Structure 1
Amino acid sequence: MMLLRKIFVIALLCISASLVAYAQTPTRTQRPRLTAFGVEERYVLHPGDVLGIEYRYTPEFNQTVSVQPDGFISLQMGGDLKVAGRNLEQVRNLILTRVRARLESPELTVVLKEFQKPYVVVSGEVAQPGKFELRENLTAIQAVLLAGGFKDSAKSSQILVFRKLNADTAEVRSLNFKTLKRTSDLENDLTLQPGDMILVPRNRISKIERYVRLASLTTFLYPLMR
């Protein structure tokens, strides 16, 4: 009997020690599992896009609106609303917030009917300067070829690519087509992004700042963007 009591006491002590150790062990925070594709990016609206706003129960308020140059749309119900830079679901929620003051339990759908295709601008000493649709993985050299290629007067060793950073500033990259052609190192060609502007100069530009004010590019580029 005494032996059984000793075994029982020892077992209780072991269990108690295990519980204390478990209680003192820091709890590991479970990290969220990430999907292989990450977060899905949705199209955001730009000036010139056309939206269809359709009410399920009050179709008399349906309308088609264009995003104005300042990024606003004008609603029959709700007045002016800034939508540029937002996706369709965000715009739908904004409209619902506005119209709930006049409609009870409104249901509506926002449809993108027309949108401005992404583009790049090529100007300067090329055969056909202008605005060109941005295709997937289009590079600076390919854009120059779409513009008809270099003129004889072009300085192909200093192709300038301007990339807008904000409303006032653009980043500048310089590419040397002669080096790319001679070394066949086309991996150093620059993949373009929507709104990039390419300038092929006539004469060598001895110095170019890394960042420039967009207003200074108006003479060369903006007439082509209209």
Structure 2
Amino acid sequence: MKKWVIIIGYLITILGWWGCARQAVEGRDSTQNPLTVASAHDAEKLKDEEQRLLVTPEKAALHPDYQILENISVPFAPEYRIGPGDVVEVIYNFRYDQTPDAYRLEVQDKISVIFPFHPQFSSTVVVRTDGRISLPLVGDVQAATLTPADLAKNLNRVYSAYLIDPQITVSLEDFNVKIKELKRSITTAPRGQSKVAPVAPDGRIALPLLGNLVAEGFTLRQFEDMVNREYSKQVRNLNVTLVLLEIHHSKFYILGEVGRPGAYEMTSRLNLLDALAMAEGFRKSGDLKEILVIRNDGLERPMAFKVNLSKMLKDQSYYADLKIRPADIIYVPKTGLDHINDVLEKIFTKGIYTFLPFQSVFSVNYDIRK
């Protein structure tokens, strides 16, 4: 029994020395003292300090985290990037303004090819997906991208080998077929004809005529430009505007010695202290000197770094620069002392405790009989 008492005494002594040494180091780490407000004079000093640190337009011009809008300094916020679960409204604006350019034939346009002196050759045809039409005697002829006048000129030249002065004319019977199909596939909304398109888990959006397009990772402006480029290859006189209706917030994760570990949504730009506050702060057993952050957002491989938040808070460092990114994993470990406590608990409370009670009682009874 005396042996165990001596061992426990040594452990307590070592832990005491370790705690004193840690406090001494922490005392040396604190290089600045925060301003204490205890009077009206102190409040004025605080106001002056805030004014000195205010980010003016002149300072913002040299600060990468700020921008100047309307001669006002505002924090620079990166553009939001589309992700799975977001809902985008695609508004279709069809332009019907008169233009000096002649109409050019498109796939699925219906045209009449008229032979005034040889009506037996006249026909009504549809421009095929390969851009051609089929006519008597000459077979397939290119039609898409040509104006009706240009097509008539080409046909007159080709048919001159068979007919004398054919004088062929081309007239439009049905055109802008793709626009009509597009209108049938979209709904009518107060802002015009539009389509509500959710972003699928694979990051794609399904759009009429275009099929599935990758949207994840693009800003709204970038994706809008891409959609307009793709539609311009098939439909003329169309302009598309995108509106972000719903945002599926990205998540980050906090584990370890915090009040409420778990997954949290990034509803705004957060720094490390904001994230810990969302998790109801850190426990007394948490080691703020060894906070681990694991990051993999947009990186070719995960990276990890440690943050000494305790020192940053004491030195009044600019911890706001430690921005949290989507999918970050924040781990607050236990302090060394709490690790030792866990070991002692496992050894003495859950381990040796199961044997000691009987032996100690036996020893006491033996001593009494002595």
TM-score, normalising length: structure 1: 0.60
Match status 1:194 vs 2:325? yes
**By percentage of residues, which structure has more helix?**
2
Distance 2:323 2:77 in 1: 21
Q: 1:67 to 1:141 in 2, by over 3 A?
A: same
Distance 1:151 1:108 in 2: 52
Q: Deviations over 1:156-194 (max 9, x none)?
A: 33111123254552222212344345xx11315352132
> Which residues of structure 2 form unaligned runs of 5+?
1-60, 62-66, 69-75, 95-181, 187-193, 337-370
Equivalent residue number for residue 133 of structure 1: 266
Equivalent residue number for residue 238 of structure 2: 106
CA positional deviation for 1:50: 1.2
> Which residues of structure 1 form unaligned runs of 5+?
1-35, 205-226
Q: How many residues align?
A: 166
Equivalent residue number for residue 31 of structure 2: none
Distance 1:90 1:79 in 2: 18
Q: Radius of gyration: which is bigger? A: 2
TM-score, normalising length: structure 2: 0.39
1:43 pairs with one of 63, 80, 93? 80
- Structure 2 SS opposite 1:53: strand
Q: Deviations over 1:69-104 (max 9, x none)?
A: 322111122001112222233322322333345433
The 5 A counterparts of 1:36-185 are: 42-57=79-94, 59-60=183-184, 61=186, 62-117=194-249, 119-130=251-262, 131-133=264-266, 135-136=268-269, 138-164=270-296, 166=298, 168-180=300-312, 184-185=314-315
CA positional deviation for 1:146: 2.3
Q: 1:194 to 1:118 in 2, by over 3 A?
A: farther
- Structure 2 SS opposite 1:186: coil
Let me know the Cα RMSD of the aligned residues: 3.0
Distance 1:180 1:56 in 2: 53
Q: 1:194 to 1:134 in 2, by over 3 A?
A: farther
Letter in 2 for 1:191: L
CA positional deviation for 1:106: 1.5
Question: Is the 8 Å Cα contact of residues 72 and 84 (structure 1) preserved in structure 2?
Answer: yes
